[in-house]
Amino acid sequence: MKKLFLTPGPSELYFTVPDHIQTAMREGVASISHRSKDFEKIFKLAVDGVRTLLEVPENYHIVFTNSATEIWERLIQNCIADSSYHFVNGSFSQKFYDFSKMMGKNAHVMEVALGQGFDINNIEIPNEVEVIGITQNETSSGVAFPVEDIYQLRNQYPDKIIAIDAVSSVPYLNIDFQKIDSLYFSVQKGMGLPAGLGVWVFNEKLVEKVNELKAQKIPIGTYHTIPGLLKMAAKNQTPATPNVLGIYLLGKVCEDMNRRGIQVIRQETNYKAALLYNLFESNNLFEPFVKEKKHRSKTVAVGNLIGQSASEFLQKLGKYKMEVGKGYGGKKESQIRIANFPTHSKESIEMLVDLIEGGKLI
Ligand SMILES: *Cc1c(COP(=O)(O)O)cnc(C)c1O
């Protein structure tokens, strides 16, 4: 029997995915031409599905890349002539900041320790900054950036591009797109799909920005530029041969999640998150890593282990055919990270909690 993956990425597949893969194989989805009418239908189903699920307004574009990591580079190439600003509190936010520096930009940073969020009342973003990078859910540390704080930044800096990394909070995240300019994710976390697909949502502000860069003769990249992606998306196509199977599965899983209803998904996520944090607070094997409640991620719960290493804990848990994530980087053995995504049923989280509370994992 295979394990249940409560790891934060890659994670357990959404429970309908195996059936959709079988159908895809029967229908030859992975072999059809990406210039065919059949592909255009698959592309449109996925775009429409994402739009409905995340309530993306009609005037926001949706395009596909190979990963979220790729989108960091595309954002820098297409939207930053000179300067970016980064909220860094973990490995993923750090990478976007590093990429900007590597690409020769003047990257500013507001950095806090792992496990902490930001006090946005003491933020001063320089005038020259063009893009503000916010990691809404820092998967490495389980810290969330509250949407109210994002909205406050929008009010303070209406002209800058606000770009949201929502890789491990989609589809749970409930955000008003009118108050941000771009949001992106890859699909192997909250969406429960095989890795290898990035989804990039953005508004006209980014299109205007890339046109400015072009007018200034700044190189904007080659095959996956905003103008190139949009030109092909207008035909329900992609510049290069894409991950057709991934796009197909995204469309199907969005349909399934839309049928279940995003409200139900959010309510269940809240319920399961409460179970997990209650466990961390009440059981003497753990303590919650993120102390400030408003910064605790609902989709990736991180606990400090007391009295055993992550390897020891995972080994015991493995006997019950479950796996959670170890800590990230330097916290590898001292923490566990538990994913709380739509595919993780209430029953599976209850089972994990019962095992621990029953003293089975000491
Ligand atoms: C996983 C992750 C990424 C990178 O996703 P890839 O699919 O590996 O490119 C970026 N940001 C966050 C917050 C993540 O959790």
Ligand 1 pocket test: pick from 172, 186, 197 the residue with the most ligand atoms within 8 Å of its Cβ: 186
Nearest residue to 342 via CA among 2, 3, 1, 16: 16
- If one residue of 92, 135, 140 were mutated to test the ligand 1 pocket, choosing by the most ligand atoms within 8 A of its CB, it would be 92
pLDDT tens digits, 277-303: 999 999 999 999 999 999 999 999 999
Question: How many angstroms does the Cα of residue 186 sit away from the middle of ligand 1?
Answer: 6
Rounded CA gap, 301 and 333, in Å?
16
Query: In the predicted model, what is the mean pLDDT of the chain?
Result: 97
CB-ligand 1 contact for 186 (6 Å cutoff): yes
Confidence class for position 116, pLDDT limits 50, 70, 90: very high
Question: Helix/strand/coil (H, E, C) string of the chain?
Answer: CCCEEECCCCCCCCCCHHHHHHHHHHHCCCCCCCCCHHHHHHHHHHHHHHHHHHCCCCCCEEEEECCHHHHHHHHHHHHCCCEEEEEECCHHHHHHHHHHHHCCCEEEEEECCCCCCCCHHHCCCCCCCCEEEEECEECCCCEECCHHHHHHHHHHCCCCEEEEECCCCCCCCCCCHHHCCEEEEECCCCCCCCCCCEEEEECHHHHHHHHHHHHCCCCCCCCCCHHHHHHHHCCCCCCCCCCHHHHHHHHHHHHHHHHHCHHHHHHHHHHHHHHHHHHHHHCCCEEECCCCHHHECCCEEEEEECCCCHHHHHHHHHCCCEEEEECCHHHCCCEEEEECCCCCCHHHHHHHHHHHHCCCCC
CB-ligand 1 contact for 92 (6 Å cutoff): yes
Expressed in angstroms and rounded, the spacing between residue 156 Cα and the centre of ligand 1 is: 28
Ligand 1 atom 14: residue of nearest CA: 167
Q: What's the 217 CA to ligand 1 centre distance in angstroms?
A: 31
Tens digits of residue pLDDT in 33-76: 999 999 999 999 999 999 999 999 999 999 999 999 999 999 99
- For residues 249 and 21, the answer to whether their CB atoms sit within 8 Å is yes
The reply to whether the predicted model has a pTM over 0.85 is yes
Nearest-atom number in ligand 1 for the CA of 166 is 13
Partnered with residue 59 across adjacent β-strands are none
pLDDT band at 1 (very low <50, low <70, confident <90, very high): confident
Q: Is the pLDDT of residue 362 over 90?
A: no
310 DSSP β-pair partners: none
Q: How far, in Å, is the centroid of ligand 1 from the Cα of 91?
A: 10
Going from the Cα of 167 to the center of ligand 1, the distance in angstroms, rounded, reads 6
**Residue range 231-258, pLDDT digits in tens:** 999 999 999 999 999 999 999 999 999 9
Atom of ligand 1 nearest to the CA of 8: 15
Residue 13: C-alpha distances to residues 191, 236, 244, 292 (Å): 8, 26, 17, 31
Structural domains of the chain, with CATH: 4-11+261-357 (3.90.1150.10), 17-259 (3.40.640.10)
pLDDT at 75: 98
Cβ atoms of 28 and 230 within 8 Å: the answer is: no
Cβ of 139 below 6 Å from ligand 1:
yes
| 243 in contact with ligand 1, CB cutoff 6 A | no
pLDDT confidence of residue 43:
98
Cβ atoms of 313 and 362 within 8 Å: the answer is no
Average pLDDT of span 312-321: 97
pLDDT digits 0-9 by tens, 167-213:
999 999 999 999 999 999 999 999 999 999 999 999 999 999 999 99
Q: Which candidate, 217, 222, 184, places its Cα nearest to that of 201?
A: 184
Per-residue pLDDT for 77 more than 80?
A: yes
